[in-house]
Structure 1
Amino acid sequence: MSKPDEIPALSYILEPALVASLLTAGCLINKRRSTDIVQAHNVLGVSLFSPSMDNSWNWKEMKFFFWIVKVPNNEKFRMSLFSRFLGMFPFIMEVWYWLLTYWIYQIARAIQALTMGNDFRVLAERHARQIISIQEFLKIDIELGLQRFVLDKPWLLTFFNKTYAMVHIPATIAFMVYSYRYFSPGIFQSTRRTLVLCNCLAFIVFSSWPCMPPRLLPFEEFGYIDTLHTGKAASIWTTNKFQNQLAAFPSLHFGYSFVIGLSLFVYSPHRVVRAISLLYPLLILLVIMATANHYLLDAVGGFFVTVVAYRINRLVLNLRPIEEWLFWLLRTERPMDKVQFDSVIRGGHIITATHRDMSERPLMLGSPE
């Protein structure tokens, strides 16, 4: 793994600044006009300028897995400063979701990395050898040949190293900003939930079935080179002593790129974006193998994780009661749901519970009618 002194000092500023800039741009691009907020509340029969001053304890019912639970009705906080701020910049909610998902995932991986012993590493190497044996049997062991091809072309090697180290997180955030603005609300929400569940499912898999990446296998026996770190091309995202290095299977780099590429191909309203969208997962597939970070079967595993994730992504909706309690603690009303807000603004009508269910269909099952 790269050491801190192998990374340019500016990377510690520029890389987080890029992420922060993308998140900020998402908030500004998706800003709601105050006139639209007033119109939406008026259509719903709620006056924004005459909120209820009733401070009594009001409840509403929500589904929490198999149960119906009561949660506080936060409508009385509608005119609070923070509520109005969130109403104008609803993408802040997506920033919060992303940060929450990212840090929970990273902390869980760090805890695992600190607690695993030598037996875990031995098991991970055994699983890696099993994957190589399967690929050799299927005649799909192409990683080493691909890496040697790339090593002969320094410019391509540099491009692949930089792509692996620095593209994954910014590209995902840029996709969230773009899809929030241009996808139908229901498709955006199901896509976002799919990405969240990809993290959860992948963590379960590599926690119970650790797998050593090619770059960590004995060089004398296998010949793989850790191009990313020996070439000093790593970023601050890949230089972390608390990172679990034995989590090659499944590949979230490919899983995320597959969801992003396919979603853009199917749902983007821009022809140019659709035309180049599928090149992204193809590029990431080549990159993760050429840099010896993943096997081809890792990408296959990443694909199946995304398939399962989108099929069950509505499970995430069961966490809404927890979210409502958090907003109650903050004395804030959750900004109007994008599905409802867009429906009200564009159609001037209130969507029913049936329409809301239709708008929350999983990815690839079609747009809301």
Structure 2
Amino acid sequence: MGTQEAVTAREAVATPGVAGGRPRARNELLLGLALFLTYSLVTMLPEQGRQQAARDHGESLYRLERALRLDVEPALNTWLAHQPFWRVLANYEYAITYIASALALLTWLFIRHPERYRTARNAFVMLNLGGLACFALFPVMPPRLMPDLGFVDTVTEGRTWGSWGSPMVEHADRFAAVPSLHMAWTLWVGVELARVNARRWVQWLNTAHILVTLYVILATANHFLLDAVAAVPFVVVSVYIAQRITRPRTARIQGPDAFFLAVETPAAPQQAGGVIMLDTARDDVGRDDLVRVIRERLPGLPRFRQRLVRRGRWRRPVWRDHDEIDWEWHVAERHVDGIAGLRAAVAEIQSERLPLDRPPWRMVVMKGAEPGRTAVVYLMHHVVADGVGIVAQAMYLMEPPPHNLGAAFPRRPLQKALATVVGLGQLAGAVTRPERLPAGGTADRRYGTMHLPLAEVRDVGVRHGARVTDVVLCAAAGALNRVVSEDDGRPDTCRVAVPLMMRPPGSAMVGNHTTAVMVDLPVGKMAEPDRLALIAERSRVLRSGTRAQAAWFVMWQAGRVMPAPLHARFARMSYSGRFLQGTVSSLPGPDRPLRLAGAPLTAVYPIVPLAPGAPLAIAALGVDRELCFGLSVDPGLTGDADAFMDAVRDVIEELRDS
């Protein structure tokens, strides 16, 4: 495929969080340092003035425990004190594991779940500030510092390196028993693991860690049982407040995203996706299996759980978390009658606009298309992402994660600026009205599919000195010649938009980084090799990159400088039948076998939306060793999408045999 339309999606899959949702690591480290300095201020409080109060509070807690018959600490402490090996092990557990588990969780959330990190971090900060306030206002002496009550200080007895009370941390606050931050931190870790739906074995491992920590803080005489109990309300209140005060990260849609929101009409829904074919001859895949997979990957798919919130005419909508996902609607299942029934069902679903009062995506499991095959129709609104971004989000649900969906070709700033200036001049001289294709102008659609060996199509391009994209363009033009007659209104040329991806390296899967360059396809009667040669000549504008860069500059800057209503008018004017009559796309895809819900993937047929007033959209997606075609067509152009696909095949075969 051409270099300009190739795009790096490897980084997109590797970093699936919301773009801009993760805070700066430097700021987080500074916050941690500030929290440690706050603790240091508490430790600097004069001990002489706190010691007696801490002793009185500790004795009061012990008397209360004895009255309630909860004083289990002496028995546990006495046994551990006479077990040198277990005593040292317990001291190290007390000194290390609660810190390690909390830091590991924060790091994991920061990297893998940035959408949850802020709330968790805020709860952790409030938990510690609440504990520090309690240490300062209500000092409590731990049991190990009261040997007259019969407790043995296992820390000093075992001379454990780095543990509380050892010379390395001798300046730690000795009267910080209530609440037990060891218990508070481990409980907080458990809450956050549950909130991000961590794997079950991880949650069970943390549960074991909580129980071990509880035993250790009692057996080492570092805490009373009531100290551990006191940690519970601190955790509950901190998590509750953090959840309420942490404002959801709202992402305002950018200009290129708003572009596709503005051009949508009832007759031209702007949702893209694909028909994913699965081999289910051995193991069936149903709706429940798909829901399970999506639930597991949901934290890495922000737009799957967010909806658009409009803020008035002059302000762009923002993305906000949608609390409840209507799984019955988002993931449905239905039966179809053969391939023809599948294509008719896809056309029907494609004709319906996705509602924007919920996350703008939908999947429908289709049974009955072919023996031993299950189809999954996947649609997502174009406001979420461009074609490659939507493909990348679908691939994120699969195993193994694809490592290449194209390559990035960044330009140097000077080259980029020069290309933009040259491209703007080219665009200014190429603005003409195209000839019209026949169209019905309704939301009704016809949908067709086809696949060919990718190597065969590449070989055709090599033999004729063309690219795969040129072959796809030629196939679309030749099919128009064969299916639409001059009597039906077929023009001599058809202007199509060829989407080109401008996605920067390392960008997330969300957002539109797409521009389009117009190419006039010859659709009159001629030999297909001659048609391909002419198209290859005209499509040089795709390879030069100047028009693509200029079109992207206009699309991006228009969204930045224009007020929202004016930008919407600009979008509707420029992306319509006044300037183009179709869309022809050639997309990179995964180059190895994939599985969805355990079933091997056999094909993915693209679903491309029609531009308003344009009756044709055809896309080719490379999947492993196949080139899969998906056709969306206005029935006013042709009522038989299968015949159009047969014509596409005939054109490529003629090129192959010539």
The one of 70, 74, 77 aligned to 1:147: 77
Shift of 1:249: 0.4
Equivalence for 1:33 = 11
Q: Distance in 2 between matches of 1:350 and 1:36?
A: 25
User: Percent identical across equivalent pairs?
Assistant: 23
SS at match of 2:223: coil
Superposed, which structure 2 residues align to 1:159-238 within 5 Å? 159-181=89-111, 185-217=114-146, 219=147, 221-235=148-162
Q: Distance in 2 between matches of 1:237 and 1:277?
A: 22
Equivalence for 2:33 = 103
Q: Distance in 2 between matches of 1:195 and 1:341?
A: 23
- The answer on whether the counterparts of 1:215 and 1:224 sit within 8 Å (CA) in structure 2 is yes
Q: Distance in 2 between matches of 1:40 and 1:111?
A: 37
Equivalence for 1:76 = none
SS at match of 2:44: helix
Shift of 1:101: 4.3
Equivalence for 1:286 = 215
Equivalence for 1:302 = 231
Q: Distance in 2 between matches of 1:38 and 1:172?
A: 23
Superposed, which structure 2 residues align to 1:1-369 within 5 Å? 33=11, 90=22, 92-93=24-25, 96-97=27-28, 99-181=29-111, 185-217=114-146, 219=147, 221-235=148-162, 239-265=168-194, 267-314=196-243, 317=246, 342-344=301-303, 355-356=320-321
Equivalence for 1:16 = none
Q: Distance in 1 between matches of 2:214 and 2:164?
A: 19
Q: Distance in 2 between matches of 1:283 and 1:38?
A: 35
- The answer on whether the counterparts of 1:265 and 1:277 sit within 8 Å (CA) in structure 2 is no
Q: Distance in 2 between matches of 1:237 and 1:350?
A: 51
Change in 2 beyond 3 A, CA 1:177/1:103:
closer
- The answer on whether the counterparts of 2:306 and 2:321 sit within 8 Å (CA) in structure 1 is no
Tell me the alpha carbon deviations over residues 332-363 of structure 1, each in whole angstroms, 9 at most, x when there is no partner: xxxxxxx999525x68976765824859xxxx
- The answer on whether the counterparts of 1:265 and 1:274 sit within 8 Å (CA) in structure 2 is yes
Shift of 1:312: 0.8
Tell me the alpha carbon deviations over residues 208-261 of structure 1, each in whole angstroms, 9 at most, x when there is no partner: 1111111111x1x21212212331213177633432111110011101101212
The two structures have a TM-score, normalised by structure 1, of 0.60
Q: Distance in 1 between matches of 2:55 and 2:72?
A: 19
SS at match of 1:242: coil
Shift of 1:150: 1.8
The amino acid of 1:168's aligned partner reads Y
Q: Distance in 2 between matches of 1:164 and 1:175?
A: 18
The amino acid of 1:33's aligned partner reads E
Q: Distance in 2 between matches of 1:39 and 1:227?
A: 45
Tell me the alpha carbon deviations over residues 254-281 of structure 1, each in whole angstroms, 9 at most, x when there is no partner: 0110121243356444232133221111
Q: Distance in 1 between matches of 2:181 and 2:123?
A: 12
- The answer on whether the counterparts of 1:261 and 1:280 sit within 8 Å (CA) in structure 2 is no
Equivalence for 2:468 = none
Q: Distance in 2 between matches of 1:38 and 1:234?
A: 41
The two structures have a TM-score, normalised by structure 2, of 0.35
The amino acid of 2:158's aligned partner reads G
- The answer on whether the counterparts of 1:265 and 1:275 sit within 8 Å (CA) in structure 2 is no
Q: Distance in 1 between matches of 2:229 and 2:32?
A: 23
Equivalence for 1:13 = none
Change in 2 beyond 3 A, CA 1:310/1:39:
closer
- The answer on whether the counterparts of 1:340 and 1:350 sit within 8 Å (CA) in structure 2 is no
The amino acid of 1:355's aligned partner reads R
The amino acid of 1:128's aligned partner reads G
- The answer on whether the counterparts of 2:142 and 2:222 sit within 8 Å (CA) in structure 1 is yes
Q: Distance in 2 between matches of 1:271 and 1:341?
A: 18
Q: Which has the greater radius of gyration?
A: 2
CA RMSD of aligned residues (A): 3.7
Tell me the alpha carbon deviations over residues 102-143 of structure 1, each in whole angstroms, 9 at most, x when there is no partner: 433332232233232423110010000110011011100111
The amino acid of 1:274's aligned partner reads Q
Tell me the alpha carbon deviations over residues 274-299 of structure 1, each in whole angstroms, 9 at most, x when there is no partner: 33221111111111111111111111
Change in 2 beyond 3 A, CA 1:37/1:111:
closer
Count residues with an aligned counterpart: 259
Q: Distance in 2 between matches of 1:102 and 1:40?
A: 24
Q: Distance in 2 between matches of 1:293 and 1:167?
A: 15
Equivalence for 2:271 = none
SS at match of 1:278: helix
SS at match of 1:103: helix
The amino acid of 1:223's aligned partner reads G
SS at match of 1:355: strand
Change in 2 beyond 3 A, CA 1:143/1:309:
same
SS at match of 1:140: coil
Q: Distance in 2 between matches of 1:117 and 1:154?
A: 31
Change in 2 beyond 3 A, CA 1:155/1:268:
farther
Change in 2 beyond 3 A, CA 1:261/1:39:
closer
Change in 2 beyond 3 A, CA 1:277/1:242:
closer
Change in 2 beyond 3 A, CA 1:209/1:37:
closer
The amino acid of 1:343's aligned partner reads P
Q: Distance in 2 between matches of 1:293 and 1:39?
A: 41
Shift of 1:171: 1.6
Equivalence for 1:5 = none
SS at match of 2:55: helix
Change in 2 beyond 3 A, CA 1:115/1:347:
closer
Which stretch has the larger CA shift, 143-152 or 197-206?
143-152
Q: Distance in 1 between matches of 2:197 and 2:22?
A: 21
Q: Distance in 2 between matches of 1:314 and 1:104?
A: 22
Task: For CA contacts below 8 A with separation 6 or more, give which structure has more relative contact order.
Answer: 1
Change in 2 beyond 3 A, CA 1:210/1:101:
farther
Q: Distance in 2 between matches of 1:38 and 1:289?
A: 42
